[in-house]
């Protein structure tokens, strides 16, 4: 019966404290009963398009062929377009808002081969309000793709070059230091940086890591447990990026760092053989309260 793809990978900022995700899946079930929905995550912070975009980019190389439904949509109901973006000549189709959320993942998947504006309302649900496009527009469109509807039937063709680009922060070199940013703090408190190992390698075996109110020396480690107790290590993480980590301890809490924070890296001045960490302040200073 179904002639389209049979997997919908679903990411949103809906959380799971209420029934929103369940309703979206119910809508899909009604239109494409054979499709399997894989939840990538619904824990993206409310309206945090950047975090959603990064999570989607990390996941995309593993995601099953089919439909990728992604909804972080603070501008829901406004003139921001609802779109479907095909990659790999049809290997996968992203469905979501044209607000930058999809851009990095689309690029990592080789770029868009087709895109449509989802303005063909016969493939949407009628709804009392304009505030839940995940349920009323994106879910039915994703399901109709699984049920065999062609992308072209879902709306007007648009030029993929006109889709809103993503805004991944780039690292840079400044006064001899590598200036980077914390992309993501994982559940274990590891700090993923926007740095390839190749960028960092020339700085040597031991680096000085600085952020507001914090200086530490860090060496490279292949695993978390290879980092000395209480020390900070540089690990090539599961996505091939450099992460700041500690062994069985959350580096984010220890260093007082969070997503979006700037950090710098430079060769350590404590001598190549020294493994003692230099710590000026382990936590972000709090504003002083004077009576």
**Measured from the CB atom, is 237 or 254 closer to a second copy?**
237
* Angle at the Cα of 31 from the Cα atoms of 25 and 32, rounded to 5 degrees: 80
Helix axes of 20-31 and 139-146: crossing angle, nearest 10 degrees: 30
Both ends of the chain: CA-CA distance in Å?
73
One of 26, 167, 173, 269 touching a second copy (CB under 8 A):
26
Q: Does 48 bind a second copy (CB under 8 A)?
A: no
Query: Contact region for a second copy (CB under 8 A) — 14-22, 109-117, 199-207, 262-270?
Result: 14-22
Strand 206-211 and strand 191-193: the pairing is: unpaired
One of 181, 239, 281, 284 touching a second copy (CB under 8 A):
239
The nearest distance, CB 189 to a second copy, in angstroms, is 8
How many residues at the interface with a second copy, by CB under 8 A?
68
Burial of residue 32 (CB within 10 Å: 0-12, 13-18, 19+) is: buried
**Measured from the CB atom, is 76 or 151 closer to a second copy?**
76
Q: How far apart are CA 103 and CA 166, in angstroms?
A: 5
Per-residue exposure over 102-135, b if at least 16 CB sit within 10 Å of its own CB, e if not: bbbbbbebeebbbbbbbebeebbeeeeeeebbbb
One of 43, 169, 228, 267 touching a second copy (CB under 8 A):
43
Q: How far apart are CA 216 and CA 280, in angstroms?
A: 8
Query: Contact region for a second copy (CB under 8 A) — 116-124, 159-167, 234-242, 280-288?
Result: 234-242
Query: Contact region for a second copy (CB under 8 A) — 69-77, 83-91, 212-220, 261-269?
Result: 69-77
Encoded tokens for 191 = 């700090």
Encoded tokens for 141 = 């469109």
Site map (CB under 8 A) of a second copy, residues 162-201, x = contact: ----------------------x-xxxx------------
The nearest distance, CB 76 to a second copy, in angstroms, is 7
Q: Does 153 bind a second copy (CB under 8 A)?
A: no
Structural contact between residues 163 and 102, judged by C-beta atoms closer than 8 angstroms: yes
Q: Which residues inside 97-126 make contact with a second copy, applying CB under 8 A?
A: none
Encoded tokens for 29 = 């079930």
The contact set with a second copy (CB under 8 A) reads 7, 9, 11, 13-23, 25-27, 29-30, 33, 36, 38-43, 46-47, 55-56, 58-59, 62-64, 74-78, 127-132, 135-136, 184, 186-189, 222-226, 235-240, 243, 248, 250
């Amino acid at each position: 019966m179904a002639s389209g793809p049979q997997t919908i990978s679903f990411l949103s900022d809906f959380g799971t404290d209420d029934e929103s995700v369940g309703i979206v899946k119910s809508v899909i079930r009604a239109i494409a009963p054979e499709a399997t929905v894989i939840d990538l995550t619904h824990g993206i912070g409310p309206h945090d398009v950047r975090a959603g975009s990064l999570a989607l980019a990390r996941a995309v190389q593993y995601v099953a062929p089919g439909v990728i439904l992604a909804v972080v949509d603070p501008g829901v109901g406004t003139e921001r377009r609802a779109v479907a973006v095909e990659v790999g000549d049809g290997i996968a189709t992203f469905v979501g808002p044209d607000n930058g959320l999809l851009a990095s993942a689309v690029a990592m998947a080789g770029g868009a081969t087709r895109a449509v504006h989802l303005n063909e309302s016969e493939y949407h649900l009628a709804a009392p309000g304009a505030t839940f496009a995940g349920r009323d527009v994106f879910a039915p469109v994703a399901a109709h793709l699984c049920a065999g509807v062609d992308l072209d039937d879902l709306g007007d063709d648009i030029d993929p070059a006109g889709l809103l680009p993503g805004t991944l922060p780039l690292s840079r070199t400044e006064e001899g230091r590598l200036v980077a940013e914390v992309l993501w703090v994982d559940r274990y408190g590891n700090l993923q940086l926007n740095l390839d190992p190749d960028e960092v390698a020339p700085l040597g075996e031991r680096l000085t890591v600085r952020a507001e109110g914090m200086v530490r020396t860090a060496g490279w480690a292949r695993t978390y447990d290879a980092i000395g107790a209480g020390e900070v290590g540089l690990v090539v993480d599961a996505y091939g990026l450099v992460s700041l980590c500690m062994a069985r301890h959350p580096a984010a809490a220890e260093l007082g760092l969070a997503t979006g924070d700037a950090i710098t890296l430079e060769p350590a001045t404590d001598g190549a053989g020294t493994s003692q960490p230099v710590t000026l302040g382990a936590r972000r200073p709090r504003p002083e309260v004077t009576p």
